[in-house]
Each structure stands twice: as C-alpha cells, then as structure tokens.
Structure 1
C-alpha cells in the first residue's frame, strides 16, 4: 500500500554500508555461502521472498531494514492509530487491521494470518511483544503453511509457562531459584508457600514478560493486595492470571544470554548482557558484555543457556535470563522465546545481524557460525529513551514529538526508532521513543560516547527520561560497574534530585535567544514588506543620546525572574538579574533543521541548540537541557474555576479497570480508590487526603482523559471557610 520513500531507501543503503563495514572491523575473515533468493528455500521447498512483520514501531522498522538488505520484500500491518507511522512508510506493502486497541488489531491472529495470505507472504516475523510468544499463533501459522520466524510452539509453551520452564531447567541441570510453581492457585495456598519460602518473595505471572504481573512482597501484611494487583495486570496482558512464587534475591543482577538454535540440532550462545538497572521491573539501560564477569563465569553462563535451549529443542533467537548474586552464582529466571528489545548490544559486540540469522534459520539453514567463530569485541550500551516523567515515578505519557533531533548515526552509533519529528507517542502502546545504541573498544570509552550522544538527543513536546539517563550513566557507581536491580532506589537522591533553579548564565542565554528570535522575525517582515525604512521593521532598541533598557520577565519553574536588558550601541546587551550584571553578546545560526545560539556571557562563549515553542524557551547543550518559561499575560490566560475539592485525577488517558470506593465511603490519604490501565501498565489511583467520597465520576470499563477528576470529596468546613 505504501511505497518505499526516497528517505527510506537512503536509510536502508546507509544501514547496509554500516553493517558491512562493522563486520569487516569486528569479524575474522570467513566464507559466507551467499546465494540469490533461492538461498532462503526451506526444507519443504518453499522460499522466503516476502515477510510480514506482525508488529509496529521501532522493531518493525528494524526487521524491515534487514529484510531490504537481503532483498526480501516487507509487509506491514497497522492499526488506525498508526496509519501515518514510520513503519508503514518503510514497508513495501501495508495493510490496516483494525482500531487502535491492540486486542482488535496487533493481537488479532486471524486478521494477521489473512493479510499474510492476501499479500503472498511466506513468513511472519512477530518482533517482540504482542504475538511474539503466543503458542497458539505459532501453531496457527504452522497449520496455515506460513513460516513463523521463531521457535516451535512447543518451546513457546514450555518456556512461556514459568512453572513448567523451571521444572524443565531443573531436570536439565540448569540452576534454578527456590519457589512454588504448583497448580493450586488459591490465595491461601500461595500465601502459605510465600511464608514457607520466606519473605521477601517475588510474585510472578506464570505467562509473564516485560515486568507485567510481577510484584515484590516484603511482608505477609502486603501479600494479598500485591497478589490481586499482579493477577489483574496478568489477566489484562496475557489473559491468564496464574501465579508463581519465588524467593527474591536481594540486590541481584539481571544477566541474560543470547542463544540461537537451528533445525539441525545446533545451538550457540552470543555472550551475555547485563540488564540490571530497571524501573518498574522494566529495563532502562543494557550493556554487553556484563561488567566484572570473569571469562570462566561467562563460559558457564553461556553453556547453561545452551543447555536450556537444547532441553526444549529450541530454534531461532532466544534469551535465557538469569538472576546473579554478589558472588556471581546464577539461577535460571525465565526464557524469552523471541528477539529481545536489547538485541542490538549483542550485535555490536559480535558484528552480527541477528534478524538476518533469524531469517536464515527460519528458511532451514544452519546457525551461521560455530561457537568458536563468534567473536567478542569491545563494549556496547543501549539506552532506552521513553516518553515518561522520572520525577513522577516514571509515569509514562503520550503526546506529539514537536521537535526531535538525534546524534548522527555512524559505525559505532545506532538510532533504533519507529518515530519521526511530528509523530505522536500514542496512549495505546508502549511509550518507548527510541533506543540509543553505542559501541566502543572498552566500557569506559563506550560510556563516554553514550553520555555525549545522549546530550545530542533533543526532544520537545513531552517529558522524556533523557536527563535521567545522563545522570544514571554518569553516576560513579554505574561507571564502576557496580550495577544491580535496586540501583535506582539505592541512589534515588543522586539520580532524581530536587529541581534546582536555573543559573543566571542560562537566564541570560534565554533572554538573548528570545531577543535574537524577535530580531529575526522583524528582519523577515522587512523583506516581506520591501520597506527597509519601515519603523515596524526595527527591533534594535536604538535611542538617541541614550541606551534603551527593557524589562523582561521569565519563569524558572514556579518562580518569576525579572531581567533588565540594556541594548548597547555596539550590538551587545547588559543584563541585570537581581544584584548581578552581565555583559552578553551573541547570534543565531542554523545547522540543518536546527537553530543554534552562540552566546558570550562575560567573555565565556557557549553553544546551545535553541527552540522556542509557545511559551517556553528550550536550551540544549553539552551540560544537559534547560527550560525557561515565558509568562502569559493575565488577559490572555484562562483559568478554569471548576474544582473537585481535592479529588484524585487521572495521571494520563486510560481505562478504569477497578473501582474500590463509592459515594459516602470514608478514606484515608493513600487508600486505593481505583485502578487504571494505560500505556500497557496498571496504575493505582490513591486518595490525596483523608475525607469522605461525595461522588465517583467514572465506572469500571470507562475511559478517562489525562487530568480528569475521578472522584469528588465532600467539602469540609476548612474548605468552606477558605473559599469565603
């Protein structure tokens, strides 16, 4: 439906060039059995010339790039919300499969199979998430004669049910952590098993993944509430609320091994990744290889992962996840029967294209390299850039990408994304914007390059975690490689400090940027009017026998800051902020689509990317980002007088899953009022204060918009007296 655009062709050509160069740098010389399209012939004689990608966003674009490199045509599917998305534009063909909710589009097995048949696709690549680990979908593909680019349905079944996978791993000699994986799912049984194992314990959805349906319980008192919450989330995500209980290893590391198997009984490992630093049990930054792992431990990890793969006759790409304690003892946690989000770091250190491997193995070929031929070169990081607010418990958000600029991609820098400037992060799907992947010769060099590249990743339009990632990657303990799953809570104050006031130098830069933009606008007006002497085309502030002083007001957080700006005759400015005076000079210039501010404050010259949108000035520099507000005059602002007397509000647009209160109920501050499902996550809405519920404004199953009032409290005497 959508032809490949010229931009897409250039991107594919650049990607092909980068990978060929990267291979030549990292891999020892070897002979590839290169053949034309018939190379992808399967054991049944069927060849793969067209592949359907049953996914969206970044991973769909990732698979398409490799498919194009291999001269395999790509077919996209999309929901109505994704009609204008990047993966649709990149595909050779694209088909709409339904409304925005994933249950009616990306999770509809019948619709995707139908598109595969209509388009003549011989194979389906499921990406990750959605149907990638769905045993029924893999089996349906087999029944319909379509190649499922993934493991056999039996492996998905055995590894997808955590209780079954633990039993299989224990029988295969893979170390497992103590836990309960039984069929008795009664509350009482699970509670008794948790007591037997000993707190803290981890409640996990049997058919889990991506941190969904997972809760840490540190005492018997909180067990029931956390169990119910985990069940609700698991039912919503996997349509199965069966749970298992495991001993929670305190301050563990999360180390996983990339494995590959083929139809000929071969299996190899491509070394390990450390994914310990997480929030909400979801990864935020990954690296390969894992820091501080000795060669002998690395070998044991890899061999254990291969043993796990062979125990279920695994075919294709998979990841075996382990919990590792401080002594580097490791225990099987789960196996992800798909390509992982963080697979690029493995590609960077081994010089491989794992999607290419997937396509080759799905077509019946053997694993391209033996274990001895797989190199481990250098170090790689992946930072996941999310639309979320780290200062609000990493609350995900949706909205437009009004401005989006990234570091330049090269041999050691990859930008894995499915969005462009002007696109919108949808409330219906995961809030990940992109993955920034960096490679260098060693860990310290890679870390330095990661921080440099993060400073060049600039987004305006919604909250992101970029500044948080900068603080995280620059933390001394992270630099030392002392990572574990409690890293963020342990260093919370360092990673999430209270907002500091903008420096006076930044305020000077903001004022200069605004003045110079005004000047540029009037210059454009002068050209348009073709009257260089028009008094309306002047913004120099020139006065006879005196210098003009302009009083400007900016908003730094919630605080108004006054700046007195004097326009000097030589084109410079004198700026007074409180009792301090600065001499300021500078100009604007363009690089590509971006505007930069070159600014001298008291002789110190700095360069910042400048973006002024609506009532905010954004400055992006090597020191990070700064936002300075421009107050709106009262006569232009409209303030809603509607109040809810302290009622709880929706943190984002979502669906009300559960309501715990009714009119007349008395609640304490912190009591649970509702559960909302939004952006693939469960959010518990809690009472902001003690009080009595006057009205519940939303029912279960209804949708609430961001900042909508969910409940209304009875107005108390103190509230009445204040309003009077």
Structure 2
C-alpha cells in the first residue's frame, strides 16, 4: 500500500489552494509549482515548498509533464495531484508519473485514455447499457461532412481530449460547420495540446446533469448523487447546484445506476464525473466521462459531508471507500470570472485592489486570488468559486445572491452582477433554467442596476472626496470644504463612469448637493468619511463604502457597485484622436489566431473580422458597422497588447470621401 508523505500539486489557482488545504489536514506536506506570472500567487504560499517551472510561454509551462515530474523528484514528493484542467486528463502524463515511481492521484492511465477517446468511450459505455447520443471523431476535416450526414443537424463540435467546455461549438447548418470545426481545433489545441474534435447530436433545450462517481482499488464504485450545471455560457458552466431541481427520486436512481454502470464498465478508480444531457421529456443521454475532480465538486461536498480531495488521497493509498452517504440540504455554486458580461464578456486583466467576499454561516469561498493579486491574460478567467449551503434550494439561492451582492471586487471587472441577476431571476428561482438560459436573457438585463445607484454613488464619491481633503488639511480643519465668506460658485466634481457617460456633482455644504444640476431629493448627510458615507435620500438612509485608488473611486452599497473615475478640474487641452475612426482595438493582451477578412473587403455589421486567443479562450472580433476594411495590421500568430489596433473598418461614406 503506497504511503503519501509529500504531494506535488501540478496545477495553479484556487484548486491548488484547495488541494493543499486538505493535504495539510491529513499531515501531508505539499509542493507547489509556478510559472513566472504566478510568482506571487496564493497557491505558492499555500504550499510548504514551491518550484519554479521555466519556460517562455507561460500558459504552456504547466503542460510540460517532464518539468512537473522533475520538480517532484527534486523535492522528494511521493505523489502528484493534477487538479483539473491542464494535464488532469492526459494519459501520457499519468504514465510519466507512474514510470517515475510516483503515485498519480487519479484514475489509471488506461482509464484516462479509454475515456479520452470519446467515440470509443461511448461505444464501450453504450454496450454497458448507458444511453448515448450518435456522434463521431473528426481527425481529418475532409471527413466531417460524411459524419454529419449520419448524425444530422443540429450538432455539437467538441474537443475530443479534454473538458470544461473548451472548443465546444453548436452548429445548426452546413454553412457554419467548417468554421466551427476550425475554431474548435484551435481552442482545443491551446487548452489540451491535442486539436482532435468530436461531433455529436445536439439536444435542444436540454439540462446538463452530471453524477459524481468514486471508485476504489477494491472494486467499489459509488454514485454521490447528481449536480445540475445547466446555466452555461459557450458551454462553460456558471452556476452549479445539488440536487438538481429537475430530478425526482426515480430519475435520480436511474441516473446514479447508469453512472455506476459506467464506472464499473471501465474499472474506475478515484474521483470522476459521468455527464448527461437531460431532455425535456426526462430522457437522458451520456455526454462524457470526466476522469478528474470537477470545478463544481464543492456542492457535492456540502450536501454529502464528504471531502472529495481527502477521498482521492485515501483511495490513491489503497484505502476502501466509506459506505454510501446520504445527501442532505441544497448547495449552489457560482463561478466568479474576470470578465465583463455587458461588453460581450470581454476578459478583464489588472490588479485586484480589493477582493473581499463576506464570511457567513453556510458560505464557502474557494479562491485563487487575494487583494493585490495580478490577473493576467495567460490563464482562464476564473477568480473564485462562491458556494452557499442551506436546508432548502430557495434559501441557498438567496444566501448566495446576498453574499455576492455584498462582495467588494475592485480593480478588475467581474461577472458578479450577472451571477446575482441569474440567481434572482424568476426562471432560475423556479428551477426551470436549461442550457439556453443565457440565450434567452441578455447580460444587460440581468446586470441592470437599481435606478438610484448612479446619483447616490456619485454623491457619496463627492462627499468622501471632500472629507478626505478636509482630513488632510493643516489649517482651518473645522470648516466645510469649499467654504467662502461670500457664497459664489458651488464646488464641482465630474466623474466618468462605466456606461461611457459623465456625471457632475455640485455641492455647497452643509445644505446643498445636486447631480447634473438636479438637487438630490431629501438629502441628509449623517456622516461623511474618506472610506464611508452615511446619507439619506428620498426618505431612505444608506451607508456607502468608498475606496479610492488614484483617480478611480469604487463604491459599494445595498444598491450595488459602481466604478467612477474622477476627471481633472482643469484638464489638459484635448489631444488629436489617437486612432482612426472605425478602429477595432484589442481588449487585452492575446494572440491573433485567425483573420477572416482582407484589406479592401466589404463587411457588414456583426461579420467576423478576426479572432484573438486570451485567457485560454478564443474571442471573436466583429465589425461594429457596415463598411470597408481599410487597415489590417495584424496576422495569425501575432501577439497583441491591450489597446492595439487590430483592424480599421471605415463606414461607406467615410471610405468614399
């Protein structure tokens, strides 16, 4: 029976922190690995030792198995835990680990390989009685059309080796097939190092339901109940919960029986997930078997009371699984991403000036960042997972939404408001959401703020600013800001805000404040400090937290969150326009992976111009209006910085003139 005394964690971010936490409770020393962009990452300090992984391409450094095995040897580790993503479902890496005499905390290499070949896996599991959808592997693009003739539309293009929604594309007509296959290949290759894709029949308006399984070396396979992961964007899960609101006891028994049959058919050992698509009639079909721990495993832990990482480590040391648990209560998880849903889910990079999620009973936060962390373009955009547990689904949803709404997240744009909007939407609250939820509900509507937030927060920013200036004053500290013997012009400050507009606050304390020339009704300033303003307006009193970083003011209150940029009172003369009209700019650093047009080509609004890979995802850049591509300074494979001109699309009148 192998004994694990020291564990190397071949991953980064929140999962590396989470694995280290459990290992330490078991008396196991831990070793972290890191690429240069992660030198100050929390997962490095969470471990007992850390090893730098050399390499120029930061995103690929964690994919070099030989470096990870050497790091384990150097530090005297007995075992390697791959977490999820990266090499967690790479059979060759598992073989490398075992060949080095180390324990691989996961299934056997032959199991990973068998489930990695998704077509062969479906044939194997279908023979074991697990319901499957028609599909097939595409190793040569020329053979895709013949496969489509057998499968039919609509269909799904998927990465053949890997998971997490990487490379997944829905295709509903022949004209879109080649483009979807090519894009899926690029994204799969970037994420998993293998660009083979798989085609599969697409079920319309499905729910995504999966069953957590666990196997041991004694022949036991347990089903630890189901999770519902239906709310997704581009097949990336956003919200996961257990139990599923769409699954009753009889369906649960059938799902778990099918999952156990799948596990037994492949002699499964360790943690795995059997994923199903559930159609509106209640019929379910196998999607795939993920041979690793899942991002959403905390909801299973909270409802069963089990620590799945602990179980992984025990099974890897030859221990038998415990008796089948009982699931109690309801748990729901939200994935907090560094992206801006209102601006087309554009990834966001920068420094987290504040990362503060309030603690509460029944709330768990698995985070890979802290205040001061730098969020870069090299890895996926996941910052943290916030999980709520309660006796009922309704209470768990309300608790999670309340916690997210009160979080203070400054410096990087996040999808927090989208998550709160989803959790509070009537359709989700009723348990009716399927995988098309975000197709039916716009991000702008789900993120809509309280109408009062703009005026209240602008007022609070101005009051906090004057309080900060008075606190710094060396003389006459007792008089209000801007006081004069003879009243003349009011004090004035103008803010730019994230709706691309401006708000001007004029005030003459203690009795006057106006927003864009309109007095704030019923204003009562109870207290004003540099970091906190307590004010009443229109009969309602609220406390607004204020955090200034340079010229940027972050505000949080029961109304929501705002980011305001204080504009200079005496601005420099306006400079000439830096970029020509119609310029398409890079939202963040990345690499151009495809150019779909040529200079001089006529395009229509919404037409694909090029695609940029950033944060391990491919982001399409489309024409904002009809026109002519008059400048195309980048090509495939070229790196671009944030703000770089990718293309210029000139409107017809401008092009003619």
TM-score, normalised with respect to structure 1: 0.85
CA distance in 2, matches of 1:665, 1:478: 44
Distance 1:561 1:238 in 2: 47
Distance in 1 (alpha carbons) for counterparts of 2:443 and 2:60: 42
Superposed, 1:207-218 pairs within 5 Å as 207-218=161-172
Superposed, 1:646-685 pairs within 5 Å as: 646-685=582-621
The within-5 A match list for 1:268-667 is 268-367=222-321, 369-371=322-324, 374-410=325-361, 412-492=362-442, 495-496=445-446, 503=452, 506-526=454-474, 534-535=475-476, 538-544=479-485, 549-555=490-496, 557-568=499-510, 572-575=511-514, 578-582=517-521, 583-588=523-528, 595-633=531-569, 635-636=571-572, 639=575, 641-667=577-603
Of 237, 245, 248 in structure 1, the residue corresponding to residue 202 of structure 2 is 248
Structure-1 separation of matches of 2:555 and 2:346: 24
CA contact (8 A) 1:267 1:309 kept: yes
Separation in structure 1 between the aligned mates of residue 111 and residue 260 of structure 2, nearest angstrom: 14
Q: How far apart are the structure 1 equivalents of 2:648 and 2:71?
A: 47
5+ residue gaps, structure 1: 1-42, 527-533
Moved more, 184-193 or 434-443: 184-193
Q: 1:110 and 1:180 mapped to 2: Cα distance?
A: 32
Residue of structure 2 in register with 1:171 after alignment: 127
CA distance in 1 between partners of 2:418 and 2:123 (Å): 40
Larger Rg: 1
Counterparts of 1:455 and 1:635, CA distance in 2: 35
Structure 2 vs 1, CA of residues 429 and 576 (structure 1 numbering), >3 Å: closer, same or farther?
Answer: closer
Deviation at 1:597, TM superposition (A): 2.3
- Residue 138 to residue 502, structure 1, CA distance change in 2 (3 Å): same
Q: How far did 1:300 drift?
A: 1.2
CA–CA distance in structure 2, aligned partners of residues 425 and 333 of structure 1 = 32
Equivalent pair of 1:204/1:213 in contact (CA under 8 Å):
yes
Deviation at 1:565, TM superposition (A): 2.0
* Alignment check: 8 A CA contact 2:347 2:587 kept: no
C-alpha RMSD of the superposition: 2.5
Aligned to 1:531: none
Task: Give distance in 1, aligned partners of 2:159 and 2:262.
Answer: 21
Secondary structure at the aligned position of 1:277 is classed as strand
Q: Secondary structure at the match of 1:468?
A: helix
2:162 partner SS: strand
The answer for the alignment partner of 1:220 in structure 2 is 174
User: Aligned equivalents of 2:459 and 2:625: distance in 1?
Assistant: 41
> How far apart, CA to CA, are the structure 2 residues paired with 1:94 and 1:443?
40
2:19 pairs, out of 63, 85, 106, with 63
1:292-342 alpha-carbon deviations (Å, 9 max, x no partner):
311111111111111111111111100110000112211110011000000
Q: In the alignment, is the contact (CA less than 8 A) between 1:574 and 1:584 conserved in 2?
A: no
Measure the CA separation in 1 of the matches of 2:14 and 2:243.
23
Structure 2 CA distance for partners of 1:636 and 1:381, relative to 1, 3 Å = farther
Matches within 5 A, 1:31-42: none
Q: How many residues align?
A: 655
Q: What are the equivalent positions in structure 2 for 1:190-209 lying under 5 Å apart?
A: 190-209=144-163
Moved more, 605-614 or 631-640: 631-640
**Secondary structure class of the residue paired with 1:444:** helix
Secondary structure at 2:431's aligned position in 1?
coil
Deviation at 1:222, TM superposition (A): 1.5
Q: Structure 1 CA distance, aligned partners of 2:489 and 2:176?
A: 66
Select 2:100's aligned residue among 113, 119, 144.
Answer: 144
User: What displacement does 1:603 show?
Assistant: 4.3
What are the superposed Cα offsets for residues 568-589 of structure 1, whole Å, 9 maximum, x if unpaired? 3xxx545465454533212146
Contact 1:81 1:100 survives alignment (8 Å): no
Q: In the TM superposition, what is the alpha-carbon distance from 1:515 to its structure 2 partner?
A: 2.5
Per-residue CA distance 1:626-684 (angstroms, 9 max, x = gap): 33443334634764633234233223210122334444445444443333211101123
Question: CA 1:102/1:365 → structure 2, altered by over 3 Å: closer, same or farther?
Answer: farther
SS across alignment from 2:210: strand
| In 2: Cα distance, 1:576 partner to 1:645 partner | 32
Distance 1:84 1:638 in 2: 39
Tell me if structure 2 keeps the 8 A contact 1:285–1:383.
Answer: yes
